[in-house]
Amino acid sequence: LGGASEQVENEFRVRAADGSWRWINSSMTVVSRDAENAAVVYVGREVDVTERRELEQELALARESAERRAAEAETLRQVGVILTSAMSVQDAIEAVLEQAHRVIPYRSAGVYMQRDGVVALVGGSDEPGDVSLELVSHNEVIGRLELCTNEGHELSSREQELLQVFADQVAVALRASRLYDETLSLAMTDPLTGLATRRAFEHMASHRISLAKRDEAPVSVMMVDIDYFKKLNDCYGHAAG
């Protein structure tokens, strides 16, 4: 109050007699000054504003929570777009993990696919994680998600819920990839003999011819006709043939 300001206001905390903390708004207004501009008369007021400060804090937390939920919803929407796009399963998993990193803090993550008793890394890092989730689709475990959290950070219950959602999304991607591979195998392989089908031959021939043109190398096709092969099938069955 010794300067040109006519009013001073601030807020501070004090401990009440019951041990609780209270917020106080303190203000002072200069009424008159002497010849040297020093405040001679001033009026002061102190008001308990604890309820207002608590309400402001609740509103700030609610706003922060709403913004976080909006970011999570947008991230999950992006994951849905990724999984319906025509990218490879490896690219899809990398993109999903990148989206997950926006709402779940972690150091590294890896996705493993389980097939015919063999578990193989299909996306992300192979660093062992401190959080591991099974990837389940149609009541079948088809892989697992390994997550290395940031040092000193323990996942909150909300982050664990989100991680499970991402794990479910990744499981969908893995199952779709496996079904695609199985369908492709059925289209390219004769189920009776295990030999390549005409479609597989045309696909491989086109590829080999393109390589031959690029390398200016010859390419050959051999056809074999076995005499009386029909009699073998008729006598011993197609499985033997």
pLDDT band at 222 (very low <50, low <70, confident <90, very high): confident
This prediction has a pTM of 0.50
Q: What's the pLDDT at 87? A: 57
According to DSSP, the β-strands at 7-15 and 39-48 are unpaired
Which of 128-137, 185-194, 198-207, 225-234 tops mean pLDDT? 128-137
Question: Tens of pLDDT along 80-107?
Answer: 666 666 556 777 788 888 888 887 888 8
Q: Which of 131, 135, 151 is nearest to 143 (CA)?
A: 135
Q: Are strands 106-115 and 140-149 parallel, antiparallel or unpaired?
A: antiparallel
pLDDT digits (tens, 9 = 90+) for 168-209: 888 887 887 777 777 777 778 887 777 888 888 887 888 888
pLDDT at residue 186, as a whole number: 74
* CB half-sphere exposure, 106, CA atoms < 13 A: 30
DSSP assignment of 43-63? EEEEEE-HHHHHHHHHHHHHH
